[in-house]
Structure 1
Amino acid sequence: MGHMNSPISTPRGYAPRIEAEPETGRPRHEFAMVFTSTPRGARLARKLVSHRLDAWGHPYGSRVNDTLTLITAELTANAVRHGHVSGQDFHVRLIHDTDTVRVEVTDSRPERLPVLSGLEPPGDAESGRGLQMVAGLATRWAVAPCEDAPGKTVWAELRLA
């Protein structure tokens, strides 16, 4: 079998970390990984988020798994389409706290901020509805500039209760 190029640029953060929340001492799960800024990298990110959620007790097909997998698909597709800088990867971080799960997608284009328009794209438009979907599915979402490098992080949270 021939060698297949992996869409993962660095396995950094692949193993989940379990830390204690400072306020409660309860476990907190975290998963982080770097992916190549390609459609294949976005697909792998979506699949790994779904897999990690399943491992954390949110089975495939559950509301939490389906919703966050869909949100991740949109945010990673946007990172590839709108946040791509040649030679730069995107980062995905998944954080499971007591009452929320948060997905963060970081890319290298700070000047290309996502904007949620109140206007519906034309009926035959192939894009333009993704952030409306994220806003409708997530409990809350936002974009923040990176503090230590050029780029931005788009994140979305889902309340578990």
Structure 2
Amino acid sequence: MNQQNITQVHAPTRHFSVPLSPTPRGARLARLLAVEWMRDQEVPYGVTDPATQVIAELAANAATHGRVTGRSFRLALLSRPGVLRVEVTDTRGEKPPRARPVGVEGESGRGLLLVEALADRWGVERGPVPRKTVWAELDLPPR
């Protein structure tokens, strides 16, 4: 095993998690906090720009479609060698997100299409009831 592989195996996973109000203000705060965390973690700019857009879309979806009065949504960011993972958890587990075709005149509905285009992988995990987590992963360049 070469030195690079040893470093990657033992490199720590860095984690950030925060509950936010399911409002437009909470969605904006998710984006702002994520940008600062990525800056502190020295995530490369080529990843932070698309990651910021993914976070904005997933947080907006949680605040709009996953909103339950009195319940927050959670933003979590995990950075490990080679991958930045974004997770947004809300309490509308019965309402899974779907990417849908959008008409040219439509003003909304493009968020998951954008996530699909920007992320290397994305998906949805259900549970524990009543939650669901929408996640996206962006590959990081080698250090």
Q: Matches of 1:155 and 1:138 in 2, distance apart?
A: 10
Q: Matches of 1:45 and 1:159 in 2, distance apart?
A: 21
Give the secondary structure class of the aligned counterpart of 2:28.
Answer: helix
TM norm structure 2: 0.90
Q: Matches of 2:73 and 2:122 in 1, distance apart?
A: 18
**Residue of structure 2 in register with 1:101 after alignment:** 84
Give the secondary structure class of the aligned counterpart of 1:27.
Answer: coil
Q: Describe how 1:72-151 pairs up with structure 2 within 5 A.
A: 72-117=55-100, 119=101, 121-147=102-128, 149-151=129-131
Give the secondary structure class of the aligned counterpart of 2:37.
Answer: helix
Q: Matches of 1:58 and 1:95 in 2, distance apart?
A: 11
Structure that is richer in helix per residue? 2
Residue 26 (str. 1) matches residue 11 (str. 2):
yes
Q: Matches of 2:42 and 2:115 in 1, distance apart?
A: 22
Q: Matches of 2:96 and 2:77 in 1, distance apart?
A: 21
Question: Which string of whole-angstrom CA distances, capped at 9 and with x for unpartnered residues, describes residues 86-105 of structure 1?
Answer: 10000010000000000000
**Residue of structure 2 in register with 1:70 after alignment:** 53
Q: Which 5+ residue runs of structure 1 have no aligned equivalent?
A: 1-22
Q: Describe how 1:146-161 pairs up with structure 2 within 5 A.
A: 146-147=127-128, 149-161=129-141
Considering Cα pairs closer than 8 Å and 6+ residues apart, tell me whether 1 or 2 has the greater RCO. 2
Q: Which 5+ residue runs of structure 2 have no aligned equivalent?
A: 1-7
Identity rate, percent: 43
Give the secondary structure class of the aligned counterpart of 1:115.
Answer: coil
Deviation at 1:155, TM superposition (A): 0.3
**Residue of structure 2 in register with 1:56 after alignment:** 41
Deviation at 1:63, TM superposition (A): 1.5
